[in-house]
């Protein structure tokens, strides 16, 4: 028997838990002590670390569990004489959409419940778009609570027609509709029912037993992401992972991405011993004939059909956090087994959940779906999601909290990712620094408006110039007159403001200069992103620490007063947060030291 993975979804109180309870009651629950046998025999999960891989989101979700964050997805197991089933039971609340997406990420089919009294709701549509986004091909409308509408055929037909009109552009392979009453067991096990003699179709369980299973096609080229390098002793070195597609035999030629190194399969080790052949879904350790270098996140593929490598893509994403998505902010990313940093560089359009219209957007909120351009900080092996779900799905994680905030699928690599290459320059940064007889650095001043950043930065600039150093100041107000004149003061614009300045400062440091950056730069994430652009020791974070009350007292422009009156929106310290540095290289408390003393402290630090 094969195993079908499906998800129950729909709006809250449409009857998902009742339906699953009825299915378990009618088919007899496989108890917990049989779980290991089911998982191993189904060849869906493999062994060791892969046993927890219920979803493409596993790495991020496992990290969340270790942090004590609850992911409310319950997996239930049951079987009939024809098939075994793993069902993801997820909440219907809008706040729990992230959990529904987790269940959908590896489902072969979806049972979408609709309350016959309420019809197609916004959450119905949201769940439908998410299942389509994650590649679910077959969907059944379980129009529930038919007993509460007097078993009305007209009402059932109306709901089915409404849904088919809505889902016309979602590209499901099949949409079926079944009238049921989960509470009374009507049309769950058998389709013959006195209550609805007008219905002549399948029961829900009959549909589940016959719906096509979206198994990986073994005729596709061999692909296996490396999950870990297995080297128990000096005589054995293998690459462990779960085969995403195709099959492999000893002697087959393979290519490792992104390195491009070619070798051949020497041995296929599995939990039960060596294999003559392994196919899609198997978890194996692959031993190669040559001593090659590969690590977690690399992909081993058939040599004649290697996996593509790129760092910029068009993707579709589901934003799963109450904190808004901000283009330009760096997030930790997980794509198959590869870890990297990722930035959403552009929102091409946001999707209207109800109509499917493409809307302009500068940021995304909770449960919004959008098509975006993304950029990884390194080349990653990939495949478009429609061709290989294992290689085409990714998640984004906030580094500080370990919260999974986004799930996405890759459409295609951007042409510029292939056409634009880094030009190697013969005159290096070290050569320019030697010519100038100085150590290039980025001195990054951060603090509230009115804290004294610009005053101290100007004095420092004069002091370094007098000492014969080549410097330049990038001041927040000055830069907004030119390079960043198109940016406002929303959170999204502030992120882009700092991203641009970080890139400019990096170029100046590459030119051998000591660049002094004086920006409020209120968010730690963007300051950390800027730091990551520089070599170790080049970025010096200087926290100009002045209490808010003192900043307001010094405010000759009257900006704080305007912000207090509501005339200036998104003003840092009033209605926009300032995240103070946690471990700056220099912490200057301006109530305890005059600007000249602060400058001496900076110079002394640099000299030491």
The active-site residue, picked from 11, 518, 521, 576, is 521
Report the C-alpha dihedral over residues 531, 535, 536, 537, rounded to 10 degrees.
-80
**Residue 521 known to be catalytic:** yes
Cβ neighbourhood burial of 412 (10 Å; 0-12, 13-18, 19+)? middle
Give pairs for 65-74: CB < 8 Å, separation 24+: 66/402, 67/401, 67/402, 69/402, 69/403, 71/98, 71/99, 71/102, 72/96, 72/99, 73/99, 73/102, 73/103
- For the record, the structure tokens of 232 come out as 């128990």
Torsion of CA 131, 134, 138, 142, to 10 degrees: -20
Estimate the crossing angle of helix 122-133 against helix 153-166, to 10 degrees: 50
Asked whether the beta carbons of 2 and 215 are under 8 A apart, the reply is: yes
Question: How long, in residues, is the chain?
Answer: 608
> Are 135 and 411 within 8 A, CB to CB?
no
3-class secondary-structure state, position 471: strand
Say if CB 131 and CB 107 are below 8 A apart. Answer: yes
DSSP 184-214: TTBTTS-S--SS-TT--S--HHHHHHHSPP-
How far apart CA 194 and CA 185 sit, in angstroms, is 12
Dihedral in degrees, nearest 10, Cα atoms 170, 171, 174, 177: 20
By three-state DSSP, how is residue 132 classified?
Answer: helix
Greatest distance between any 2 Cα atoms in the chain: 96
DSSP class of residue 252 equals: -
Structure tokens at 454: 């610009």
Residues with a catalytic annotation lie at: 521
């Amino acid at each position: 028997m094969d195993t079908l993975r499906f998800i129950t979804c729909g709006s809250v109180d449409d009857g998902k838990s009742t339906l699953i309870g009825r299915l378990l009651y009618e088919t007899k629950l496989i108890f917990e002590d049989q779980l290991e046998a089911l998982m191993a025999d189904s060849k869906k999960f493999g062994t060791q670390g892969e046993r927890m891989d219920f979803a493409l989101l596993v790495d991020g979700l496992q990290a969340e569990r270790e942090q004590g964050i609850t992911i409310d997805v319950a997996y239930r197991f049951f079987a009939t004489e024809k098939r075994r089933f793993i069902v993801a039971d997820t909440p219907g609340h809008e706040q729990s959409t992230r959990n529904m997406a987790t269940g959908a990420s590896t489902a072969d089919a979806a049972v979408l419940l609709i309350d016959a009294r309420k019809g197609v709701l916004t959450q119905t549509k949201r769940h439908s778009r998410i299942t389509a986004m994650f590649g679910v091909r077959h969907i059944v409308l379980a129009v529930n609570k038919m007993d509460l509408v007097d078993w009305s055929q007209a009402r059932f037909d109306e709901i089915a027609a409404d849904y088919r009109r809505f889902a016309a552009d979602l590209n499901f392979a099949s949409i079926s509709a079944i009238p049921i009453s989960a509470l009374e067991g009507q049309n769950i096990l058998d389709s013959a029912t006195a209550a609805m003699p007008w219905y002549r179709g399948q029961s829900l369980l009959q549909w589940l037993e016959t719906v096509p299973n979206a198994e990986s096609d073994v005729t596709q080229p061999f692909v296996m992401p490396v999950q870990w390098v297995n080297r128990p002793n000096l005589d054995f070195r293998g690459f462990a992972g779960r085969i995403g597609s195709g099959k492999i035999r000893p002697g087959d030629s393979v290519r490792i991405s992104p390195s491009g190194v070619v070798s051949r399969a020497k041995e296929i080790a599995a939990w039960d011993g060596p294999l003559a052949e392994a196919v899609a879904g198997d978890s194996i350790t692959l031993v190669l004939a040559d001593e090659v270098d590969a690590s977690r996140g690399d992909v081993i593929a058939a040599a004649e059909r290697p996996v593509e490598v790129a760092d910029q893509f068009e993707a579709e994403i589901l934003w799963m956090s109450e904190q808004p998505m901000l283009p330009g902010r760096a997030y930790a990313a997980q794509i198959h087994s590869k870890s990297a940093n990722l930035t959403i560089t552009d929102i091409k359009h946001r999707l209207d959940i109800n109509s499917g219209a493409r809307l302009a957007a500068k940021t995304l909120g909770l449960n919004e779906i959008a098509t975006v351009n993304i950029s990884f900080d390194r080349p990653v092996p990939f495949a478009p999601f429609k061709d290989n779900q294992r290689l085409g799905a990714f998640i984004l994680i906030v580094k500080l909290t370990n919260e999974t905030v986004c799930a996405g699928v890759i459409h295609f690599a951007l042409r510029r990712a292939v056409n634009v290459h880094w030009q190697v320059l013969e005159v290096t940064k070290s050569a320019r620094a030697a010519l100038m007889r100085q150590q290039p650095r980025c001195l990054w001043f951060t603090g509230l408006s009115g804290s004294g950043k610009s005053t101290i930065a100007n004095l420092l600039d004069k002091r370094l110039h007098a000492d014969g150093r080549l410097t330049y100041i990038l001041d927040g107000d000055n830069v907004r007159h030119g390079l960043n004149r198109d940016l406002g003061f929303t959170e999204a614009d502030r992120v882009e403001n700092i991203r641009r300045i970080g890139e400019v400062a990096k170029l100046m440091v590459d030119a051998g200069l000591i660049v002094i950056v004086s920006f409020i730069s209120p968010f730690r994430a963007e300051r950390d992103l800027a730091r990551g652009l520089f070599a170790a020791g080049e970025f010096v974070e200087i926290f100009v620490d002045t209490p808010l009350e003192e900043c307001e007292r010094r405010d000759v422009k009257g900006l704080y007063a305007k912000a207090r009156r509501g005339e200036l929106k998104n003003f840092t310290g009033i209605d926009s947060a300032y995240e103070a540095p946690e471990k700056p290289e220099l912490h200057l408390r301006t109530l305890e030291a005059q600007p000249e003393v602060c400058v001496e402290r900076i110079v002394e630090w640099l000299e030491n």
